[in-house]
Structure 1
């Protein structure tokens, strides 16, 4: 089963997050085969992180809770909160399958309460429905995409009520 795991950074946690990044990457190395997407959300200027997104394929709720709550950023106190949802992947692939990057466009995570609509654009990296852990009740959707600006990102995601976060591919640099 696929899961959406999003840790929102605590205000002022940037330095701590920086110190924990090598441990975070080492932890994620253990999940390399299970990761569908990963990467930090960013401030509008792209200078600081605001959160850490992972979409991961794991066999059980216990496994995803272990993934979320044994992660070094979580254990170190970087996050204010962690959102864990089921993820129904409508693209069927991963962020590594995305080959249509366009220079001059930014990447975004669009998180919305809307019901999923079919999306078709070469700028969609990945999207899917979010569901409650216990019963799968619909909670919204998440879309990873590239667009010129946050307004264009929301329009491309066909989302009425949204949170639009600048986002970038994660992993070792």
Structure 2
């Protein structure tokens, strides 16, 4: 069952995001089988990230929580807030899945 995880970076922590980025991407690569999609939320300049969005295929909220807590961004204390909720696949890649 899919879960959506939305993260919100602490203000002024852009350098920490950049310092942790490579190990974060390696973590995502190692767990790609769980990812429906994920990516950074960007400000209008298209350069600076303010957090992220993960669509994750796991069986429980606990698994989603464990996934994000093991993320190097989380372990580096980049996030000010993390929201987790169940997500319904309605349209994916232009296809109606309802």
TM-score normalised over the length of structure 1: 0.52
The equivalent of 2:9 in structure 1 is 9
The equivalent of 1:77 in structure 2 is 77
1:99-120 deviation digits (Å, cap 9, x = unpaired): xxxxxxxxxxxxxxxxxxxxxx
The equivalent of 2:65 in structure 1 is 65
Question: Using the alignment, how far apart are the partners of 1:19 and 1:8 within structure 2?
Answer: 17
Gapped runs of 5+ residues in structure 2? none
Gapped runs of 5+ residues in structure 1? 99-121, 126-173
Deviating beyond 2 angstroms after TM superposition, the runs of 4 or more aligned structure 1 residues are none
Corresponding position: 1:31 with 2:20: no
- Map 1:56-135; keep pairs closer than 5 Å: 56-91=56-91, 93=92, 98=93
Work out whether residues 42 and 50 of structure 2, in 8 Å CA contact, stay in contact via their aligned partners in 1: yes
Question: Using the alignment, how far apart are the partners of 1:53 and 1:28 within structure 2?
Answer: 12
Question: Using the alignment, how far apart are the partners of 1:50 and 1:39 within structure 2?
Answer: 11
TM-score normalised over the length of structure 2: 0.89
Deviation for aligned residue 1:47: 2.2
Deviation for aligned residue 1:50: 0.7
SS in 2 for 1:89: coil
The equivalent of 2:19 in structure 1 is 19
1:89-137 deviation digits (Å, cap 9, x = unpaired): 102x4xxxx4xxxxxxxxxxxxxxxxxxxxxxx6xx9xxxxxxxxxxxx
**Superposed CA RMSD:** 1.8
The number of equivalent residue pairs is 96
Question: Using the alignment, how far apart are the partners of 2:52 and 2:29 within structure 1?
Answer: 15
Question: Using the alignment, how far apart are the partners of 1:81 and 1:71 within structure 2?
Answer: 14
